[in-house]
A and B are shown apart, each in its own frame.
Chain A
Amino acid sequence: GQQVMQIPQYQHVQEGEDFTTYCNSSTTLSNIQWYKQRPGGHPVFLIQLVKSGEVKKQKRLTFQFGEAKKNSSLHITATQTTDVGTYFCAEENSHFQGAQKLVFGQGTRLTINP
């Protein structure tokens, strides 16, 4: 079946340090989405990447989609305590079992020392 590898599982940083989480797929993807879940909250959509090699920025967050559309990364520059939470990638492969649906990675839990 479709495998979604997200690393690392946990990351603890000092406030102000950078943070990166990676997702790798065994198949070529239609698109990839990123979500953030605050502690005790629900996942909230951050962005969707569709094009090969795409790079998108949201303030201190940079999202990349690999040239082969099999991997993606989320990079946060100069983390702040508001960045605490779990970041999930969600991969979509329109050829998977004949129906479009998202498959989530295990998530990277980010904690920050102020």
Chain B
Amino acid sequence: DADVTQTPRNRITKTGKRIMLECSQTKGHDRMYWYRQDPGLGLQLIYYSFDVKDINKGEISDGYSVSRQAQAKFSLSLESAIPNQTALYFCATSKGDRAGDTGELFFGEGSRLTVL
């Protein structure tokens, strides 16, 4: 079984609909992240959380919200989806290292979202 699980893996929706992408992890890591991937643009950080009570905006948080329901669960919501939010979304976790840096990221399999 995957250590970082994302659901759904694929979703097609219409403009204006509310969408939630869920992520759960069995790695026991405190840090969790949501990234968006568009062709040719690499991975852009949407939101990140260092523990259950901590939520931080990333590079491209507008139009998104998150919830850290437990150490193991971090969900991403699009309150009113629009076509330019069509992308591949990745959840990731990390343990952090002794220097306080991120450490190795462990990615889920990705959730492909299409907004019509």
Contacts and interface: CB of A to CB of B under 8 A. Distances in A.
Chains A and B are bound partners = yes
What size tier do the contact residues of chain B reach?
20 to 34
Given A9-B40, A101-B45, A104-B42, A30 B99 contact: yes
Given A30-B101, A94-B100, A102-B102, A42 B42 contact: no
A31 B40 contact: no
A85 interface: no
Given A43-B107, A44-B107, A45-B106, A100 B101 contact: yes
A48 B100 CA distance: 14
Interface in B35-60: 35, 40-45, 48, 56, 58-59
B56 A99 contact: yes
Contact of A33 (B44, B99, B100, B104): B104
A41 B88 CA distance: 11
Nearest to A40: B110
Given A94-B99, A100-B100, 6 more contacts: A1-B59, A35-B105, A48-B103, A92-B101, A104-B43, A106-B40
Interface of A: 1, 4, 6, 9, 30-31, 33, 35, 41-45, 48, 88, 90, 92, 94, 99-107
